[in-house]
Amino acid sequence: MGLAQRTAVPTSMEAEAEKVLERTAELVPWLSEQAARVEEARRIPDDVAERLFGTGFFNLTRPSRFGGLGVSPRFAWEATFNVALACSSSAWLAGLTSANIIMLGKFSAEAQREIFAPGVSPIVPMLTGGVGQDIQIETVDGGISLSGRWRYASGVDVSDWLGLLINIPGGTGAPTAHVVLVPRSEFVIDHQSWRVMGMRGTGSKNIALGKTFVPAHRFMNWSELQAGNKHPTCPNTEPLYDFPLNTANAMSVLAPTLGVASACSDECVKIMRARVSSGNQQAQINDKIAQVDAGGSAATMSLLRDFLISETAMIEERIGQVGVLTPEERGLSRTKIAIASRQALSSTQRLFAALGGSLLPEGTRIERLFRDIHAMSSHFLLQPEPISEAYGRLLLGLELAPGTRL
């Protein structure tokens, strides 16, 4: 889509997005009280989901023609920071969903009318990380017949649709990767499958699909999505839907990670203020190392959150200038995102070490945050080594490995 065909986002939409930020900040005290219940339920409870929906959070990246705001994803990242101060699992779901809605905003007009219909849950798990098993696909008139099993369907309990990355047979050629959309009602959820160390409340459960017909208008070519393109019938012209897909996905997991890292920093400082060292019986606030750790961590978290917002703005400006980022530009951005995640984890680990035995009791907020930040940081989109390798290959004039996502 050419630059002239993009539609500027009205100032009124951005003003409404600022109100969403205010509402998510106002939700923090109540949501903080629900965090332990969310973890115990091992899913986002319906009432928690409804309160999140009520803030307008998921309208931020929803197309304006379907009642959303269609604004810059930076609003979604900032709103995610707010949610993360209260509940890690809710923030994870909020961040991922924001990027998933951007992807859905690239689909066919017919698919979007179904996905964005009134009363349909905005939560659409998109299982694109090679998490399928026993997948059977048969090409039939008007679409495909599909069955299989998948893992990590985050938020499936409060969803109405799911997206699946599958390889669709195509005549005599090799199968072609597509994301296909299937109603949640067609799936069976294994409610006992989500037994994990951290991020327990995301409800990222295993699901199974019996033989189901999926019409062709619910397909989107994965290569086209990777390239930043839209379906030929996609009606959306806001700049948001030209944002690089993999960069948006990486940012959507970095935002909650940084938010939870900030919550870790705040909680560690709170504990330090009241803690007396068992070794020398001195108040920890008088220890210079504790002072260095507290100040350095708080500043690091602020720096990293600012980075995510400024990087988003830089990408948007670049897209406005040239339309599509080069592979090298995408590689640089993805590498910076991964390094930011690793830096956040490193900073929190230093604080955790300073707490000693205060970290050990089960059921405390800091123990939950410890588990959650480590679980978040393990996501494949946040690993600096493989992403740096891909970017380095580009810089050295080498071909990317098959399947590389930049």
Average pLDDT over residues 369-390: 96
Residue 201: pLDDT band with limits 50, 70, 90: very high
pLDDT exceeds cutoff 70 at 261: yes
Distance in angstroms (rounded) separating the CA atoms of residues 406 and 334 = 7
How much is the average pLDDT of 150-171? 94
- Cα 232 from Cα 372, distance rounded (Å): 40
Q: Do 226 and 102 form a contact (C-beta atoms < 8 A)?
A: no
pLDDT score at 8: 74
Burial pattern 80-103, b for ≥16 Cβ within 10 A else e, equals: bbbbbbbbbbbbbbbbbbbbbbbb
pLDDT in tens, 224-240: 998 888 999 999 999 99
**Chain segment 324-350, per-residue pLDDT in tens:** 899 999 999 999 999 999 999 999 999
Q: Which residue has the tokens 């991922």?
A: 96
**pLDDT-derived band of residue 5, with 50, 70 and 90 as boundaries?**
low
Q: Are the CB atoms for 157 and 121 separated by under 8 Å?
A: no
Q: Rounded to whole angstroms, how far apart are CA atoms 84 and 91?
A: 5
- % of the chain exceeding 70 in pLDDT: 98
- Which CATH architecture group holds 3-123? Orthogonal Bundle (1.10)
Is domain 126-221 classified as CATH 1.10.8.50?
no
Task: Delimit the domains of the chain by residue range.
Answer: 3-123, 126-221, 244-395
For residue 263, is pLDDT > 80? yes
- Domain 244-395, second-level architecture: Up-down Bundle (1.20)
Tell me the whole-structure pTM to 2 decimals: 0.94
| pLDDT tens-digit map of 8-24 | 777 899 999 999 999 99
Residue, of 359 and 57, whose pLDDT is higher: 57
Task: Give the per-residue pLDDT at 293.
Answer: 94
Task: Give yes or no for residue 177 having a pLDDT over 80.
Answer: yes
Assign 2 a pLDDT band (cuts: 50, 70, 90): very low
Average pLDDT, the chain: 94
At 102-140, the pLDDT tens digits run 999 999 999 999 999 999 999 999 999 888 999 999 999
Mean pLDDT of 373-385: 96
